[in-house]
Structure 1
Amino acid sequence: MTYVIDIHTLGKEAFCTPGRAGTTLKDIFESESIPKVFFDVRNDSDAVCYHFGIKLAGIQDLQLMELTTRRIQLHRKYLFGLSKCVEGDLSLTIAEIRGWKETKEKGLNLFAPERGGNYEVFNIRPLSDAVMQYCIQDVQFMPKLWRQYHSKMTRLSSVKVQAASRERVALSQTKDYNGKGQHMALAPVSLR
């Protein structure tokens, strides 16, 4: 099951309101001992740090996990995007891939300015079904991708991914961080 937390409506309260055990989302996000899975954590880390003062820790970056499990090491200079990972590494049917792509296209058409969309669709309440499905669909494949990559990792590659994930988070929280550009497609030197 996937839960969507409405940060637009709740704002900082989404991160600092304690649950029954007294733990907040901020506590969870900043805990090194609670694993959190992201696909390319950099821009998400930048956003929660800049807007809410959250310093992510305990990150397992699926993009880096995929990189270390590639069979041919010569192909480790560039990172794969989530689409390539979902389509290439999960055993999805043609119908599942088609549905996934259609949902992605609908979402992009709604919010991507270069397609005539507008990011304001994320601020309209209630969220449209198309926007909600767009938000949910990528996350729903992350557990399967994690299992797929984790099963192929060695202890050494796991340690390297953890270190590279920490480096990504630290870099994303600097004032000079630039989350757009061709440099984002380059694999960390430590994992090539």
Structure 2
Amino acid sequence: MYKTQTKSTPDKVSSQDPSQIEDDEVAKITFSLQSTTIDSSVGPQLVSTRAGIVELVGEIADLPTSPPSLFVDLEGVNLSRHGTISILQIYAAPLDRTYLVDVHILKEKAFSQPAGNGMTLKDVLELSSIPKVFFDVRHDSDALFAHFGVRLAGVQDLQLMEVATRQCRRRFLSGLAKCIEFESSMTPEQKGGSYEGFNTRPLSSEILQYCAQDVGYLPGLWRRYDQRLTAIRDRRAEVEQEVERRISDSQHAAYNGNGRHMARAPPRWAYLS
């Protein structure tokens, strides 16, 4: 989520300069590495070769699906059809392992290289039978489809799960930083950073650690929001329909991933009982 077009949507539309909004969001998301922990007890595994992709797909393709095993995020410079994908992060919960796929180096081979079982990473991302958890899938879907023809399916979107389970005030979406702050009572520490760092090789230890920490927040959020969805009749179906709409819209030629509309929750959700 550390990108020029951040998916961490502001909680309300601001009249600030867009670059200032961007800097504020990056600062809020980049929490102190000393005061927080992630789910994985093992260092992140960088996947930058075709052999690494073969191993990765072989390890994650048949993991349990309930609860979801795979938590996914992407990093890039202006992550969208107009920018680039640098790194694809996958946290595999049953393995307690974080994989950082170096898309900047591997390019299309990251998605097309078959494993021993014949599956590719593209297959894993496209199969509806393999659930994948994202936070605000819109920029990720836009970039994956535009650059590599990946049609995401089986997606659970934490941003939509959060707003659908609020008791009130569902007009605006929350960004990841806001969700982490609210759910864990962690205190943000403002740190600087460069988006271009994701395209500098070799990757710095700070970038590797950031990527692992970033995706590591998602399982805890999923558990909280899934519990709340289970307690609310028929709300899960609403979320699933909206996720499908987000993905479909992001693949449309006229899709616009910038603007005030990106901060707004689905209008009909303001009236959910």
TM-score by length of structure 2 reads 0.60
Alignment of 1:23-34 (within 5 A): 23-34=119-130
* 1:145/1:55 CA distance change after superposition, 3 Å: same
1:10 maps to amino acid: L
Deviation at 1:176, TM superposition (A): 1.6
Aligned residue pairs total 172
1:148 is matched with which residue?
224
1:127-167 Cα deviation digits (max 9, x unpaired): 11222222222210101100100011135111111110000
Judge which range, 16-25 or 49-58, deviates more: 16-25
Does the 8 Å contact 1:160/1:190 carry over to 2? no
Moved more, 124-133 or 78-87: 124-133
8 Å CA contact 1:39–1:61 kept in 2: the answer is yes
CA distance in 2, matches of 1:134, 1:67: 26
Against the structure 1 CA distance between its residues 190 and 60, is the aligned structure 2 distance closer, same or farther, given a 3 Å change threshold? farther
What is the match of residue 46 of structure 2? none
Distance 1:129 1:183 in 2: 36
The separation in 1 between residues aligned to 2:215 and 2:238, in whole angstroms, is: 24
Secondary structure of 2:173's partner? Answer: coil
Corresponding residue number in structure 2 for 1:2: 98
Distance in 2 separating the partners of 1:149 and 1:155: 14
Which letter does structure 2 place at the counterpart of 1:110?
A: G
1:88 matched residue in structure 2: 182
Partner residue of 1:181? Answer: 259
Q: 1:178 to 1:134 in 2, by over 3 A?
A: farther
Identity level (%): 49
Find the counterpart in structure 1 of residue 157 from structure 2. 61
2:207 to 126, 131, 138: 131
CA 1:123/1:190 → structure 2, altered by over 3 Å: closer, same or farther? Answer: same
State the secondary structure of the residue aligned to 2:160: helix
Consecutive unaligned residues of structure 1, counting only runs of 5 or more, are 112-118
Structure 1: which amino acid aligns with 2:130?
Answer: I
Contact residue 63 and residue 81 of structure 1 kept, 8 A: yes
1:110 matched to 2:188: no
Higher relative contact order (CA 8 A, sep 6+): 1
Contact 1:164 1:190 in 2 (8 A): no
8 Å contact from structure 1 (residues 45, 56) kept in 2: yes
Q: Does the residue aligned with 1:3 lie in a helix, a strand or coil? A: strand
Q: Larger % of helix: which?
A: 1
Give, in whole Å, the separation in 1 of the partners of 2:125 and 2:226: 21
Task: Please give the alpha-carbon distance, in whole angstroms, between the structure 2 residues aligned to 1:190 and 1:15.
Answer: 36
> Which letter does structure 2 place at the counterpart of 1:150?
D
Unaligned runs of 5+ in 2: 1-96
Q: Name the amino acid aligned to 2:164.
A: T
Please give the secondary structure, in 1, of the residue aligned with 2:206: helix
1:124 Cα deviation after fit: 0.9
